[in-house]
Structure 1
């Protein structure tokens, strides 16, 4: 039988090294262009990857499978490290984090109990401790790694709901389920916040109607004047405001809600304050711009994503809370997993504060990359991307062929090719697809103020001003062909 696993057997070690080296070589060979995409449209791509069966009667063996991977998959993978890739809030992964992924997959630890991941558990606890200090959450703070921003937000909403029901309504949700007045619970977030707010409300049995969407101002920030009025109105109507979510980096615009003002409202009404900083949490590492996220320390919980501005591989996120005791809402003991007797003897079982049971050792990526780059390295990376966004905004403002929606606060720039005709929506849609399939340039598309727009999400610090100028020239040329 061919080798199954990496072990202490020399034959297995040699096979592992061979497979990893061959894979690394194949990946490097597939980076044969500076473009982000090779170009196939959906139907062509489906035809290219088709196989009669992916479970043959007789296995093909490693060499043949590697060849098929090289033929069908690697040439068509998006090359996220390319400066032609900028559609969404994920981008390239720094090299040392690729090494951490190799370690994570080889050892295959699960983060639910200490006996499944001894050193991994202790490293996650250590990383969380440093993250709580980074965001100045105080000595009682804690956190846990999650699959991404949606799960971090959902966790925070659960903790906020249970805290409110326990502390304000004096009702034990964990034991009895939702209280009779659950239909009166209200959470507030901006009208352009992440869709995980509604999805979480649905999953938790509160429904979309429990999510009160607050309008944004011209800078795409939550209008706190309206927030105050809506909370007062709900209280007068007998509803139960339990949570306000401030967005620190909206998905499209990168706008940052006024954290100090929201914190004051939450304090006045005894409401949980959560910051969805999945995008903007990285700004704290920029010496030049960290003041833009001042106020995060006032939050009861924070979502932090490391597969966005921190440039780590998907998936890697965490939810941090100011009061570690709030995680009790998620704790339940099982004799086969997180025995109370072990915990009394100092064994930490992270499943006690996680929605997931089986979970990857994602904290290693943060540990290695933070140590490798240091404060100075990360400040340079994040500052460069934010400065690129500022430069692009200035560039577009000078060009009459473009309109820009709002000045960027982080690294997202939403803009629109303008022809002066009624075809602008269609032109912008067509330009995006032309860029993707003809030029291998991948940009985002969204709707702002009712108009179809293009979006650059500038997370790659290798982007240059010259390259931005070239990209805008290509967009302008393709747009003008369609007038």
Structure 2
């Protein structure tokens, strides 16, 4: 590829202006760059009235063909920042808007944004102590605090992760390797997969996160290794079905090595019976992993944390702070009951974690993670907990859950809505029911059209899902400032849009 010279305004050639300086009398270029960036963000947010600009995928794609990807000798910061505003900030989904309620994508608190600036400026890498001396011990303290909050034993440990995908992978990696070592006396780390691996089975709910299967694939077990268990009417694992499935697999000569319980499914927020599944896992000698990426936030609520009873019995746990704890992506944590299980990821490198460093008391976190270079994401959580407080965060979560239940009650009073379940945490799965009879295929199309038109009009950002092959809509509330009035406005917009489309389609004879 040939790098072409671009039309540009020449910047200062002083290299110091591009880096923050130590032992300097002034860091004015850095300060001016940060202040101008903050002003741009504030100005854009102050003028934002809708959660989305309304541009179609094609319009966004064509728009992003316009800006230069690079300059040859540099441009002024003002020029760069104007393009960032125009092409990246203004077209972005505004998760800060109360009508942005599609995914597990939360608004982020100010202290965590400030923490992002600090951790990026310091650029500590969390693999070895000499790259992150203070950050290492702060993360270690927060991990131990989370161990205590979850009720795991003092023998527990953990590490910050990029989120649920990585944490679930690590949980199943430890499940596979620990089972092989304990039952077969076989080290996967040293010798690879044993012949018995093709008979390994991992059990989870039929509504479990797709990363359970994804992890099985990445671990060399394949999707065939995942056995899904039917859920009850609340979309929770049925305990009796789980136990009978384990027994049946063993009768067939298969080897159930792990059970994955979910504390907060993506669609319904359903929380499996964590204590009942713990009993099964313990009795059957299986690794017990809990995916609490979504529901783990309930640990911070005095009112709702009891719903996670049984989490303290897990062998490993996934929690995402960038879902219910209002942190920027990425910020997750992976916890284990026994610290020794994490040594499966240990690899000695003379330049990174030599034995003599450990003998000197240095703590190298690289041995706890599948990552090497890793961000100081623990800083975001620490600054949030200090400046806002766990009591306040817990009250925010309780308000979100309360408003979700109020909106569900409102939906049940309307013939225009078909609801599926009473909400478990903060998701609502429902669909619009037309006033006139329509074929199911048209009802599905109508609900998709409602979602799309509200999105492009900037009225609301909703999600969609399928249930028994029918199209449903989904609302996920994660905004601390949400209230019943704001939520009801969105419900009214859905009803109005549904009626408008019905009338329009009747005129166009789309249905009978």
Give the TM-score category using the shorter length.
over 0.9
Q: Distance in 2 between matches of 1:226 and 1:78?
A: 41
Q: Distance in 2 between matches of 1:135 and 1:120?
A: 22
Structure 1 stretches of at least 4 aligned residues deviating more than 3 Å after TM superposition: 9-12
Choose from 314, 318, 321 the match for 1:299.
314
Question: Structure 1, residues 206-241: CA drift from partner, whole Å, max 9, x if none?
Answer: 000000011111111112221111110111111111
Q: Residue 271 of structure 1 corresponds to which residue in structure 2?
A: 286
Q: Report SS of the residue matched to 1:85.
A: coil
Q: Residue 61 of structure 2 corresponds to which residue in structure 1?
A: 46
Q: Report SS of the residue matched to 2:90.
A: helix
How many equivalent residue pairs?
A: 483
Q: Is the 8 A contact 1:276 1:302 kept in 2?
A: yes
Give the deviation of 1:9 after TM superposition: 5.4
Q: Distance in 2 between matches of 1:118 and 1:171?
A: 36
Q: Is the 8 A contact 2:126 2:365 kept in 1?
A: yes
Choose from 412, 421, 427 the match for 2:438.
421
Q: Is the 8 A contact 2:315 2:338 kept in 1?
A: yes
Q: Does 1:4 align with 2:11?
A: no
Question: Structure 1, residues 450-483: CA drift from partner, whole Å, max 9, x if none?
Answer: 2111111111111111111111000000011222
Q: Report SS of the residue matched to 1:399.
A: coil
Choose from 373, 376, 388 the match for 1:358.
373
Q: Residue 456 of structure 1 corresponds to which residue in structure 2?
A: 475
Q: Distance in 1 between matches of 2:284 and 2:215?
A: 23
Root mean square deviation of aligned Cα: 1.2
The runs of 5 or more residues in structure 1 that have no matched partner are none
The runs of 5 or more residues in structure 2 that have no matched partner are 1-12, 503-512
Q: Residue 123 of structure 2 corresponds to which residue in structure 1?
A: 108
Q: Is the 8 A contact 2:278 2:314 kept in 1?
A: yes
Q: Is the 8 A contact 2:67 2:83 kept in 1?
A: no
1:246/1:224 CA distance change after superposition, 3 Å: same
Matches of residues 137-286 of structure 1 in structure 2 within 5 Å?
137-286=152-301
Q: Distance in 2 between matches of 1:115 and 1:40?
A: 47
Q: Residue 14 of structure 1 corresponds to which residue in structure 2?
A: 28
Q: Residue 481 of structure 1 corresponds to which residue in structure 2?
A: 500
Q: Report SS of the residue matched to 2:388.
A: helix
Give the deviation of 1:10 after TM superposition: 4.2
Which has the larger displacement, 383-392 or 436-445?
436-445
Instruction: Select the structure of larger CA radius of gyration.
Output: 2
Q: Distance in 2 between matches of 1:174 and 1:161?
A: 11
Q: Report SS of the residue matched to 1:307.
A: helix
Q: Does 1:471 align with 2:490?
A: yes
